[in-house]
A and B are shown apart, each in its own frame.
Chain A
Amino acid sequence: MIRYAYFPGCASESTALSTTLANEFVFGRIGVDLIEIKDWNCCGATSAHVLSEALGLALPARALARAEADWPELDVVTGCASCYARLKLTNHRVRQDGGTRYMVEKILGRPYAAKREVLNFLDVLSRDDVKANIEEALMRTFRGKLRVACYYGCLNIRPCEVTGAKDRENPVAMDEIARLAGAVPVDWGYKTECCGAAHQNDAALEARPLAGRILHNAKECGADVLLTACPMCQMNLEMRQAEYIRKNRDKAVGRQTFPLLDVVLPPPAGKTIPVLSITELLAIAMGAGGERLRMDAHHVPVGRVIADALRDDAETEVFL
């Protein structure tokens, strides 16, 4: 049994409902035991560290210190890019700098040595033994009929000095996992560009195009589905789609933004693109039904695309 201390993150119980269900399904099938950290708390996400550096380090450290005390032999894993960034950075800083460790321990009132690693789901799913388990757990595959654009987001990769990511411009870990399920990853250009994160709420004017360009490029490069590894990215890309498409339907995005060069990019196609997390994709391939995964919770309907991809698979019942 492969075991990890698990930091679910706030989104897991709210906006990422379908993803959380898929996580439980998939990790149960592939023999990975996620042990929830007792009394975990919000990592501070995008807000805390802006207000106070100490708060931004102490919040994640509280959860990490609990995990270290309860399961000193387990690495910590989280399914959210933002949580991952905060936990990983805290771990990194405490390891690198004795002063930071002293400060954090003082605030927490308990020891925290950052002895174990902080990982994200992609790290776990990319393990060779886990990959073998995934292949074993598959009930049906997409047999090359589902073209997916794997979106990693910025915080799963950057800053590279902290995350240790090697393929900083063109990561392929998620592509390889998707390929196991018979999906075809497309070669596209926005794998690690920012989705706008929390700025979609407080700076909509600037942030909307950030998400829009990702959707645009994914569609241009022929993707049927956008895959994510973060509930925040998923929400931004999914929830804002209708609005983005409506606003830009008749407008060439290029002309207004780049007056001098006058190079006009084609307007975004007026179609929506479903957004799934990588674990949702795996769950479907492992036989989970749409109802069980609460696919109806998605803002952009998923059923049709998945059903089309699975239709001719005689071994399985049609999805939804």
Chain B
Amino acid sequence: MSRIGVFVCHCGTNLASVVDVEKVAAAARELPGVSYAAEYKYMCSEPGQQMILDAIAEHGLKRIVIASCSPRMHETTFRKMLKKSGVNEYLLEIANIREQVSWVHTDSGVATEKAVDLVRMAVAKVAKDEPLKASSIPITKRALVVGGGIAGIQAALDIADAGHEVWLLEREPSIGGRMVMLDKTFPTLDCSACISTPKMVDMSAHPNIKLLTSCEVAAVRGYIGNFTVTIRQKAKYVNQDICTGCGNCEEKCPVKVKSDFNKGLSDRPAIYRLFPQAVPAKPVIDRAHCLKLTKDRCGLCEKVCPLGCIDYADEDREYDETFGAVVLATGYGLCDWTAMYDEYGAGRFADVIDGLAFERLVNASGPTEGHIVRPSDGAEPKTVVLVKCVGSRDPKKGKPWCSRACCMYAAKHAHQILEKIPGARVFVFYIDVRTPGKNYEEFYDQTRKDGAVYVRGRVSRIYKEGGRLICQGEDSLLGKQVRVAADLVVLETAMEPAAGARETAALFGASADANGWLQEAHPKLRPVETQAGGVFLAGTCQGPKDIPDTVAQASGAAAKAIGLLNKDEMETSPMIVAVDEAKCSGCGACVDICPFGALSLEILTAREGRWERAERFVCKVNAGLCQGCGACTVACRTGAIDLRGFRNVQILEEIDALWT
């Protein structure tokens, strides 16, 4: 007879005030296989645990049932306790008589009856439990950070400073992301480049960091602790080992292409650095525009390069590397308002620009050396209209979210215009002004004192009249239509997930929400983790954020990655599925249903004779990927898959116990 011990907890008065715990313990004593039953005020406390351990020793108990709170609360506590007793920690069942009984019932009689039922089921199940053993897998002590914006840079530096090797992968030719495009940052107005470029230099000089620019993630295999990542290195056509970044080639290149970095406000050559302070500070060739690569003429850069770095034959390469932890920091892009806002001219007016273009205009290292001018004629604008929530908070345009940073950078834009252009007038059209951050409200307040006029309402359309841009909209506080004749209009457009972020995350098993932002494991308590073990989130890939929040989250993600990399081995839960190959028909229904990609079909040689060989497909489980959800066990038509700890026979035993 299995020697089962049942322990009923009072949980102070949480349980005992509704459930008659003594009656439950008494009923448990009568159940088949139960040799001992007791109740106590707090089972999880030190004396409570000692009581259980003493009873195990005294009565020779082999299996334990604890009737208490949810297993999510204290199952691990009691498992740890059992390790000291010699009883296998998986020969334990928790009957949840708090969340499922005392907290949801008021009638003591009914509650006690239900509690007895739950204990009876737990006893029936524990009798069928098998001892299980957790296994462990080694961890590759190297992290991969995907994305080289400020989030990726911060995460990489933190992990590297903790002593772990980090590879940072960026698809552009330089790290820096969006932050290096900005001029000054709210609310302190410190120069964005001055605070981010030193970090970029730290990155390139750090002994633990390897920088991969012009790279993409092509494929991922493996799981937490051991991700094998196929990295695609795009051709740079410039030998990065020899190049000193002298810049001869950039000066001589005859091609002029609109600079994406300067939002089309200036030109760049086909062999170029993203910006003067780029890291690495070496040019690459833009293959779509290079005359040599497209039309096989020119070749000027090869002639002027003193070191012979130019290699037109360079090709994309792919190679595999293994990482223990991954931080996704894929960032954001601005929505393409020209495709969404016909009423704002859909890009027909040169003097209607977006916020990032304004940042380049006002930036001392930008195309106008910091002079705010109209892109159409270079004249200084006297009246500027800022329109907030262009795209954001507009379900009709498919972007219901608030982009969070715009209220503050619009205030900063207003401040900068009023500061740089004497006598300038600034009108800010807004829905709400949202300033939840340290010193944010004060900054906004100061901007209004500087003279910015805030108009509550959306701009309904922008059109040209007398060489000026007329912004028409409702002032919803006045209840009137207003029109402002502006020289320059800045649209503070919505942030959206960076192109390809969802696809890249999917390679690692992380998912995105309906809007494309990467999904955290829990919105409050696990904000930097994903549902995929070992994959963490940093910065705006998870949702719109400003710089302080981005950096804070990046350090949080780094801490999680460091915690993982600090271990040599990782314990894996033994409660995963096992396949009975004799029963498996190889239908593959389970493979399709597994949300973690843990199942696959492999060929099994059933028998091999001299003349013949019988082969068939059977399901194989990847122990590292299986999360023990059990979806496949339900899908399996032959009952070949069983979830350890929740085998079909255990569940059926539980149900049977309810009816006897």
Contact = CB atoms under 8 A, between A and B. Distances in A.
B475 interface: yes
Interface stretch (A89-97, A163-171, A237-245): A163-171
Contacts of A265: 465-466, 470, 483, 485
Interface in A209-225: 216-217, 220-221
Looking at chain B's contact residues, the main secondary structure is strand
19 contacts: A167-B342, A169-B342, A169-B346, A170-B342, A170-B348, A188-B463, A189-B463, A189-B464, A189-B470, A217-B463, A220-B466, A221-B464, A257-B480, A257-B483, A260-B482, A263-B383, A263-B483, A265-B470, A265-B485
Contacts of A257: 480-481, 483
Contacts of A261: 427, 453, 455, 475, 482-484
A222 to B, nearest CB: 10
Contacts of A258: 480, 482-483
A263 B485 contact: yes
Given A189-B461, A261-B475, 6 more contacts: A169-B342, A169-B343, A217-B465, A261-B453, A261-B455, A265-B483
A169 B349 CA distance: 14
B478 interface: yes
Contact of A170 (B346, B427, B481): B346
A266 B480 CA distance: 20
Give me the 8 closest cross-chain CB pairs, A-B, nearest first: A189-B463, A169-B342, A220-B465, A220-B466, A263-B484, A258-B482, A169-B343, A217-B465
Nearest to B483: A258
Interface in B335-379: 342-343, 345-346, 348
B464 A188 contact: yes
Contacts of A169: 342-343, 346, 461
B478 A221 contact: no
A216 B483 CA distance: 14
A258 B473 CA distance: 11
* Most central of B343, B461, B483 by chain A CB within 10 Å: B483
Contacts of B475: 260-261
A168 B346 CA distance: 12
Contacts of B464: 187-189, 221
Interface in A242-283: 254, 257-258, 260-261, 263, 265-266
Interface string B387-430: 00000000000000000000000000000000000000001000
A187 B348 contact: yes
Interface string B461-477: 10111100010000100
Interface in A152-192: 167-170, 187-190
Contacts of B453: 261
Interface string A3-17: 000000000000000
Contact of B466 (A190, A260, A263, A266): A266
Contact of A189 (B383, B465, B481): B465
Given A170-B342, A187-B348, A260 B478 contact: yes
A216 B453 CA distance: 27
Nearest to A170: B342
A208 to B, nearest CB: 16
Contacts of B478: 260
Contacts of B348: 170, 187
Nearest to B475: A260
Report the interface size class on chain B. Answer: 20 to 34
Contacts of B484: 261, 263
A57 B227 CA distance: 66
Nearest to A265: B485
A217 B467 CA distance: 11
Nearest to B471: A263
Contacts of B482: 258, 260-261, 263
A254 B470 CA distance: 12
* Most central of B427, B455, B461 by chain A CB within 10 Å: B461
Contacts of B342: 167-170
Contacts of B383: 263
Nearest to B478: A260
A188 to B, nearest CB: 7
B379 to A, nearest CB: 18
A256 B274 CA distance: 50
B21 to A, nearest CB: 66
A50 B485 CA distance: 37
A220 B482 CA distance: 19
B424 to A, nearest CB: 14
Nearest to A217: B465
B425 to A, nearest CB: 8
Contacts of B480: 257-258
A168 B342 CA distance: 8
Nearest to B383: A263
Interface in B291-344: 342-343
A181 B481 CA distance: 38
A266 B470 CA distance: 12
A306 B20 CA distance: 101
Nearest to B469: A189
A221 B465 contact: yes
B260 to A, nearest CB: 26
Interface in B431-473: 453, 455, 461, 463-466, 470
A172 to B, nearest CB: 11
A13 B511 CA distance: 66
A257 B485 CA distance: 14
A232 B347 CA distance: 32
A190 to B, nearest CB: 7
Contacts of B346: 169-170
B170 to A, nearest CB: 38
Interface string B481-509: 11111000000000000000000000000
Nearest to B484: A263
A163 to B, nearest CB: 15
A59 to B, nearest CB: 33
Contacts of A217: 463, 465
Contacts of B461: 169, 189
A272 to B, nearest CB: 18
B652 to A, nearest CB: 54
* Most central of A168, A189, A254, A266 by chain B CB within 10 Å: A189
Contacts of A260: 475, 478, 482
Contacts of B455: 261
B414 to A, nearest CB: 15
Contacts of A263: 383, 482-485
A187 B465 CA distance: 10
Contacts of A254: 483
B485 to A, nearest CB: 6
B344 to A, nearest CB: 9
Contacts of A216: 465
A257 to B, nearest CB: 8
Nearest to A260: B478
* Most central of A188, A261, A266 by chain B CB within 10 Å: A261
A217 B465 CA distance: 6
B352 to A, nearest CB: 13
A187 B469 CA distance: 12
Contacts of A221: 464-465
A188 B348 CA distance: 11
Contacts of B345: 170
Nearest to A190: B463
Interface in B211-257: none
